[in-house]
C-alpha cells in the first residue's frame, strides 16, 4: 500500500510501505476513505515532536471502511463505516475508566498514538489497536466529509474549550484564534447558550469564517485587542476566555480578557514557557484550564452533526486526492494565503 512517511524534519514522502495488517486480536484494519491534516502534523514536520521517528506514517484522523477484524473484536465487522479518532483507548485502565483516555496507560502511556507512536492514518489503510473501544460507527446520515472533523478538531474545541471553560447560558465568551479548533469552540459554544461570542484573530478570512460559525463579534488581533474586547463587555471582560493558538502572547491576551470569577480555557499546544501576571491574577478568582483532548464527546457530537445542529462540513475548504498529498500539505501550511481551513483528502 501507499502512505505518507515521515523521514525527519522537513522530509516526508508518499511511498510504498507494507500493508497494514492485524497484529493483536483486538486490532481492526480500516481502509482510509477520508483523512485530513492537523496543525500537529506540521509541528511534527518541524521536528517539534521527537517521539515521531524516521519511517513513521503520519496522520491521526480518518473515516474509513473496516477490511479485517481481529479474533477478539465483537463490535465491528468487515464493511462497517467507521470514524478513527485521534485518541485510542483500551477502555479498562484507570484513566480510561475516569473518562480520560487522553492518558490511556495501555496504548503507550498517552492516548494519542496514531502518527506519533504507531503508524497513522495518512495512508491507504491503517491498523487500529483496541478497535472495539476506540472506533465509532458513523450513522448513514453523516457524510465522510462531516465525520472527519469529529476525529480531532471538533472534540478539541468542544472539550478543551467549551466544556473545560464551563460555558453556561447567557455567558460572554472570547475565542483567541479562529483556526479549525477555535472555530470548533465557536460552533459548539452555542450548544451551551452563550449570549455573545467574540472571535479574535490576525487573519480577516478567519474572522469572516468565525461569523459564519456563530461568532456575534469579531476583533482583529493587535495592540488594542484587550481594550476592544473590554469595550464590547461594558469594561468587565468575558465569562470564558478560550485560547486556541498556542503562543505566549495569545495566552496572555486570553488571560487579560477574563472577568473576576471567569475561566481561561487554554487549548493551544505550547512549545515554550509562558510567564503569567500572577500578581494581578491571584485576586481575580479566575480558573485556568488546559489539557489534551479525550475525544469522549464524539458520540454527542455525532448526534448533533446527524441532526444538522453542527454543520461540520463547513470546516473543509479544499479537497485533494492521496496522489496530491504534497499539494494538500502546501495549501494547509499556507492556510492564510489560500483562504484555507481544513483540507479533505480522499483516495481519488
Ligand atoms: N489541546 C489539544 O488537545 C489540542 C488538540 C488539537 C490541536 N491543539 C492546538 O490548538 C491550537 C489551534 O489549532 P488549529 O488547528 O486551529 O491551528 P491553526 O493554526 O489552524 O489556527 C490558529 C489560528 O490562530 C491565529 N493566530 C495566529 N497568531 C495570532 C495572534 N497573535 N492573535 C490571534 N490569533 C492568532 C491564526 O491566524 C489561525 O487562524 C494549536 O496550538 C494546536 O496545536 C490542541
Ligand atoms: Zn490533531
Ligand atoms: Zn486505557
Task: Compute the distance from residue 27 Cα to the ligand 3 centre, in Å.
Answer: 15
Least confident range of 45-49, 56-60, 121-125, 206-210: 45-49
Locate the ligand 1 atom nearest the alpha carbon of residue 291 and give its number: 1
Confidence at 338, pLDDT banded by 50, 70, 90: very high
C-alpha cell at 271: 512549545
206: its cell numbers: 478567519
Ligand 1: residues with CB < 6 A are 39-40, 152, 156, 160, 176-182, 200-203, 206, 221, 244-246, 249-250, 267-269, 292-293
Interatomic CA distance for residues 81 and 138, integer angstroms: 6
The atom of ligand 1 lying closest to the CA of 270 is 41
pLDDT per residue over 319-328, tens digit each?
999 999 999 9
Band of pLDDT at residue 129, cut at 50, 70 and 90: very high
Please give the distance, rounded to the nearest whole angstrom, from the Cα atom of residue 31 to the centre of ligand 3: 24
Task: Please give the number of the atom of ligand 1 that sits closest to the Cα of 182.
Answer: 16
Ligand 2 center to 38 CA (angstroms): 5
Nearest atom in ligand 1 to 183's CA:
16
Burial class (CB in 10 A: 0-12, 13-18, 19+), 85: buried
Average pLDDT value over all residues in the chain: 97
Closest ligand relative to 158 C-alpha: 1
Has residue 249 got a pLDDT over 90? yes
Which atom of ligand 1 is least distant from the CA of 269?
A: 41
The model's pLDDT over 78-106, given as tens digits with 9 standing for 90+, comes to: 999 999 999 999 999 999 999 999 999 99
pLDDT of residue 148: 98
Residues 62, 168: Cα–Cα separation, whole Å: 32
170: left (phi over 0), alpha (psi -120 to 50) or beta: left
Residue 231 pLDDT > 90, yes or no? Answer: yes
Instruction: Look up cell 501550511; give the residue.
Output: 333
Which of 39, 155, 292, 296 to mutate for ligand 1's pocket (most ligand atoms within 8 Å of CB)? 39
Indicate which residue's Cα is closest to atom 31 of ligand 1: 250
CA angle 127, 132, 137 (to 5 degrees): 90
Query: Is the predicted pLDDT of residue 271 greater than 90, yes or no?
Result: no
Give, to the nearest 10 degrees, the angle between helix 180-189 and helix 204-212.
30
Burial classification of residue 5, based on how many CB atoms lie within 10 Å of its CB (0-12 exposed, 13-18 middle, 19 or more buried): buried
CA distance 156 to 326: 26
User: Ligand 1 test: best mutation among 180, 186, 213, 244, most atoms within 8 Å of CB?
Assistant: 244
Residue 130, helix vs strand vs coil: coil
* pLDDT number for residue 270: 86
**How confident is residue 108, by pLDDT bands cut at 50, 70 and 90?**
confident
Q: What is the pTM of this model?
A: 0.96
Q: What percent of the chain has pLDDT over 90?
A: 96
Residue 43 has pLDDT above 90, yes or no: no
Å from CA of 60 to ligand 2 middle: 6
Taking residues 137-159, report their average pLDDT: 98
- What is the CA(247)–ligand 2 centre distance, in A? 17
Cα 69 to middle of ligand 2, angstroms: 26
Task: Please give the residue that has the higher pLDDT: either 271 or 115.
Answer: 115
Ligand 2 centroid from CA 75, angstroms: 26
> What percent of the chain has pLDDT above 70?
100
Amino acid at each position: 500500500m501507499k502512505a505518507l512517511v515521515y523521514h525527519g524534519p522537513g522530509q516526508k514522502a508518499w511511498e510504498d510501505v507494507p500493508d497494514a495488517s492485524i497484529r493483536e486480536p483486538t486490532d481492526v484494519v480500516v481502509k482510509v476513505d477520508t483523512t485530513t491534516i492537523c496543525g500537529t502534523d506540521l509541528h511534527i514536520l518541524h521536528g517539534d515532536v521527537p517521539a515521531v521517528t524516521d519511517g513513521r506514517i503520519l496522520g491521526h484522523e480518518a473515516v474509513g471502511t473496516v477490511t479485517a477484524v481481529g479474533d477478539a473484536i465483537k463490535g465491528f465487522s468487515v464493511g462497517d463505516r467507521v470514524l478513527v479518532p485521534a485518541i485510542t483507548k483500551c477502555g479498562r485502565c484507570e484513566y480510561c475508566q475516569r473518562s480520560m483516555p487522553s492518558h490511556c496507560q495501555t496504548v503507550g502511556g498517552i492516548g494519542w498514538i496514531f502518527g506519533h507512536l504507531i503508524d497513522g492514518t495518512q495512508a491507504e489503510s491503517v491498523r487500529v489497536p483496541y478497535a472495539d473501544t476506540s472506533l465509532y460507527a458513523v450513522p448513514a446520515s453523516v457524510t465522510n466529509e462531516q465525520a472527519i472533523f469529529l476525529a480531532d478538531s471538533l472534540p478539541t474545541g468542544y472539550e478543551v474549550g467549551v466544556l473545560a471553560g464551563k460555558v453556561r447560558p447567557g455567558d460572554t465568551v472570547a475565542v483567541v484564534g479562529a483556526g479549525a479548533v477555535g472555530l470548533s469552540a465557536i460552533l459548539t459554544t452555542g450548544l451551551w447558550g452563550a449570549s455573545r461570542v467574540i472571535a479574535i484573530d490576525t487573519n480577516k478570512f478567519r474572522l469572516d469564517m468565525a461569523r459564519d460559525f456563530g461568532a456575534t463579534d469579531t476583533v482583529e488581533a493587535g495592540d488594542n485587542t484587550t481594550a476592544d474586547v473590554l469595550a464590547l463587555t461594558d469594561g468587565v471582560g468575558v465569562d470564558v476566555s478560550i485560547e486556541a493558538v498556542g503562543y505566549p502572547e495569545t495566552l496572555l491576551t486570553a488571560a487579560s480578557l477574563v472577568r473576576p470569577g471567569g475561566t481561561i480555557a487554554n487549548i493551544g499546544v505550547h512549545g515554550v514557557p509562558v510567564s503569567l501576571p500572577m500578581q494581578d491574577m491571584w485576586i481575580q478568582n479566575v480558573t485556568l484550564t488546559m489539557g489534551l483532548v479525550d475525544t469522549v464527546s464524539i458520540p454527542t457530537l455525532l448526534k448533533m452533526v446527524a441532526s444538522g445542529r453542527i454543520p461540520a462540513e463547513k470546516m473543509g475548504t479544499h479537497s485533494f486526492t492521496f496522489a496530491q498529498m504534497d499539494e494538500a500539505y502546501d495549501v494547509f501550511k499556507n492556510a492564510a494565503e489560500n483562504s484555507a481551513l481544513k483540507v479533505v483528502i480522499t483516495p481519488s
